[in-house]
Amino acid sequence: MTSPTPDALLGPADIRELAAALGVRPTKQRGQNFVIDANTVRRIVRTAGVRPDDVVVEVGPGLGSLTLALLEAADRVTAVEIDDVLAAALPATVAARMPGRADRFALVHSDAMHVTELPGPAPTALVANLPYNVAVPVLLHMLENFPSIERTLVMVQSEVADRLAAAPGSKVYGVPSVKANWYAEVKRAGAIGRNVFWPAPNVDSGLVSLVRRAEPVKTSASRREVFAVVDAAFAQRRKTLRAALAGWAGSAAAAEAALVAAGVSPQARGESLTVEEFARIAENAGNTRNAGNAGNTENAENAENAENEEPGQQ
């Protein structure tokens, strides 16, 4: 590996000079906040545990602050950038500041949500400063489409970091927590101050580490089926699962049958369940058929009774 020059990384003056030359102003629409501190990007690379044999994919590289730090440590880096101007400029920045590593860099000019394949060897790590407004869907999309990614470290809004790393029973445990845990062991990996960004955001940032599960969640249900249960459970998170899953199952009675078969209390709420328990509920969706028929009979009987009641009794 060729050693980079000592001043290869971008500092505050470099970032502003590059941005001015390109006529770039960070936009809220794309959640752009450029990292301007070399120590911060090196810290991110260290925390990510990037190794000399890693093939790293980076989403939203911007002007290249983190990209250059990743190239110092990894075997290869592939950056995915949606912005036309930034995508056009980044290869030249890499070539100018790390000429000895330029052949180890590739750029994909695309929306990360549409990327399903990457050039070169399969990625082993994902390291990114994710745009705050699309952080969770982009993260889940990359983990789903690139199973070779073993380790991930993303910088996201602090509240999003809390949600991703939350454990069952936490007030912020929800859809992102469960879906991220489907793929990986998730934990908070540090905090990032506002003054390392340009422009400085009005929210704090946090690092989240995800290490892909050595073995997938053991279930006969598909990811899509499990995620459908998760979505339904948290769409009405204040309700019991019997009520919250009624639409998913076809009736409250059918939901109860699936829950009981899965060994989950119908009175529990989604925020108390592990991803494995959601998977068991999805597995037992078949048990809702008979219960659904019973529920339909029950509904018909209730309707008939209602028709026979005197006005005012309801």
Gap between the terminal Cα atoms of the chain = 79
**Residue 187 class from Cβ within 10 Å (0-12 exposed, 13-18 middle, 19+ buried)?**
middle
pLDDT digits (tens, 9 = 90+) for 276-300: 999 999 999 976 555 444 444 344 3
- List the beta bridge partners of residue 206: 156, 191
The closest alpha carbon to 147, from 127, 130, 124, belongs to 124
pLDDT digits (tens, 9 = 90+) for 174-231: 999 999 999 999 999 999 999 999 888 888 999 999 999 999 999 999 999 999 999 9
Q: How confident is the model at residue 291, as a pLDDT?
A: 47
Q: How confident is the model at residue 287, as a pLDDT?
A: 63
Residues 6+ apart with CB under 8 A from 243: 236, 252, 255
Q: How confident is the model at residue 201, as a pLDDT?
A: 83
pLDDT digits (tens, 9 = 90+) for 121-142: 999 999 999 987 899 999 999 9
